[in-house]
Amino acid sequence: MPAAWVAPQGAGAAPLTQEWIDGFGSAELSELVRAARAHSLDLQSAAARVRQADARARAAGAVILPKVDLNGNAVSYAGHSSYGSAHETDYAALLSASYEVDFWGKNRAAHNAAGALWQASTADRAVVELTVVTGVANAYFQTLSIRERLTLSRLTLKNSQQQLDMVVARYEAGLANPTEVAQQRGVVAGAEIRLRELEQQEQESLAALAILIGQTPGSLTIAAQRLSDFAEPQIAAGLPAELLQRRPDVFAAEENLLAAHADLEQARAAFFPSITLTGSGGVQNPAVQAAVITLAGVGPSLTVGATLVQSIFDNGRLRAARDEAAAKEDEVLAQYRAAILAALWDVETALAAVSHLDGQASSQTQSLAQGELALAGAQARYREGAGDFQTVLNAQQSLYATRELMSQYRLARFQSVVGLCKALGGGWAQDQQH
């Protein structure tokens, strides 16, 4: 593991906690996340998989202890021949127990494998939860970004229409030509098209957000309108080695590796003899039923026995099973290492994105301010007859594009913070694993 991150971190950053979503300062977003945790169908499926893994772990653990059964039976015999008739009823009520002596740890290894897979399944659920939460946050910010651009688009359409009115007035006064009127009308038409596109995108984004929280498309409304109303929490990345305990997907890969190693231990133990102890006791008639001795009458009965089984020749079946388990362990080990590298890459990429966007802040603000000044100046000169219409048109298009980029820049900043929180594990820790 590297000693530190390559990408720089912002000053004053705070450690990540599970309540990181509240750091954006949006009560509406926090409520949407709570709704997603309660109603997300993906989370419900993941929880069901955890319960399945828990049941399998309990079943595997049950093999370690003795098995006790209650058996009751009654059989009536009747027959007739030239020697006479006979009738007999045999019955028994017995408790029987069996226990496989786990000298070589085969059953214990199976239990350990099932327990590790249960832990991995629980961590997988945490991965799904983190994916759902970050998906809700990104969809929420995406919707607000579209709303910001919708506001800009309506303003752009209004300004374009006002500019068209001015061009038409100048044309009617003989100060403008038909080409200028046609060009400005094209600008107005383009603004109307862009407005309709954004309205459709808003509906699609709201529908996607509704599905993430388990609601039907069209049933969700959100009140917020602007990204600028919210804060951008500063998150500390900590040390790279801490990812091994903070990323649920890395923990799941580690548990899968432990399960694969336990499977290998189980396959090795299969080479050794299996010893099973059995016993039963109760009341039966006849009291003893054996191959040589039969004791008539009702009375207590006790049976004990032991069985030893050792494979002598199986045509390589046990050896093949062991080799398969060893190869599986090698595969899962590679997957574990790959999960660690992927986690490191996720954090480095997220930190680089946050740092890169921080470096653009002043340039984005300056670009927008200069674009607004350029358009205002071009329009003033054109009204006074000191400037040409093409300059106004170019300034219009440049400012509209700058405003669009500014809105997308705000969205990228919020989504980069969400991406960093996801890359760091969303505040999850191994001590939260049950």
| 180-192 pLDDT tens trace | 889 889 988 988 9
Between residues 401 and 120, the one the model is more confident about: 120
Structure tokens at 350: 């997220």
**How far is it, in rounded angstroms, from Cα 153 to Cα 58?**
60
Q: Is the confidence at residue 434, as pLDDT, over 60?
A: no
Token pair belonging to 231: 């804060």
Least confident interval from 78-87, 104-113, 129-138, 247-256 = 78-87
- Lowest mean pLDDT: which of 37-46, 84-93, 111-120, 345-354? 84-93
Residue in 49, 71, 181, 193 with CA at minimum distance from that of residue 123: 49
Of 47-56, 131-140, 161-170, 254-263, the range with the lowest mean pLDDT is 161-170
What percentage of the chain reaches a pLDDT higher than 90?
44
128 pLDDT more than 90:
yes
Q: For helices 106-172 and 27-39, give the axis angle rounded to 10 degrees.
A: 140
Higher pLDDT, 129 or 396: 129
In this predicted structure, the answer to whether residue 23 has a pLDDT above a threshold of 70 is: yes
Q: Tokens standing for 224?
A: 């917020």
pLDDT of residue 32: 95
pLDDT at 201 over 90: yes
CB 225 within 8 A of CB 12: no
pLDDT at 177: 86
- Give the Cα separation of 266 and 121 in Å (integer): 21
98 pairs with which residues across the strands?
Answer: 67, 278
What pLDDT sits at residue 11? 65
CB atoms within 10 A of CB 102: 17
CATH superfamily, with its number, for domain 14-65+112-270+317-432? Outer membrane efflux proteins (OEP) (1.20.1600.10)
* pLDDT greater at residue 82 or residue 335: 335
Q: What value does the mean pLDDT of the chain take?
A: 88
Closest CA to 326 of 272, 266, 283: 266
Predicted pLDDT at 417: 93
Q: What is the pLDDT of residue 330?
A: 97
Lowest mean pLDDT among 61-75, 249-263, 283-297, 314-328: 283-297
Residue 276 has pLDDT above 80, yes or no: yes
Residue 293 or 219, more confident: 219
Of 393 and 211, more confident: 211
Task: Spell out where 31-168 has E strands.
Answer: 67-81, 84-101
Q: What was the pLDDT predicted at 426?
A: 92
Check whether the bond before 2 is cis (ω within 30° of 0). Answer: no
Domains of the chain, residue spans: 14-65+112-270+317-432
pLDDT at position 299? 77
- pLDDT category at 433 given cuts 50, 70, 90 is low
Which pLDDT value is given to residue 119?
A: 94
Q: What is the per-residue pLDDT across 385-414, written as a single tens digit (0 to 9) for each? A: 777 767 877 787 788 888 888 888 889 999
- In angstroms, rounded to a whole number, what is the distance separating the alpha carbons of residues 348 and 356? 12
- pLDDT value at residue 24: 92
What is the reported pLDDT for 432?
Answer: 64
Residues 29, 34, 39: CA angle, nearest 5 degrees: 120
Question: What integer pLDDT is reported at residue 131 of this predicted model?
Answer: 95
What's the rounded mean pLDDT across residues 90-94? 85
Which amino acid is located at 197 in the chain? E
> Which pLDDT band holds residue 140 (cuts at 50, 70, 90)?
very high
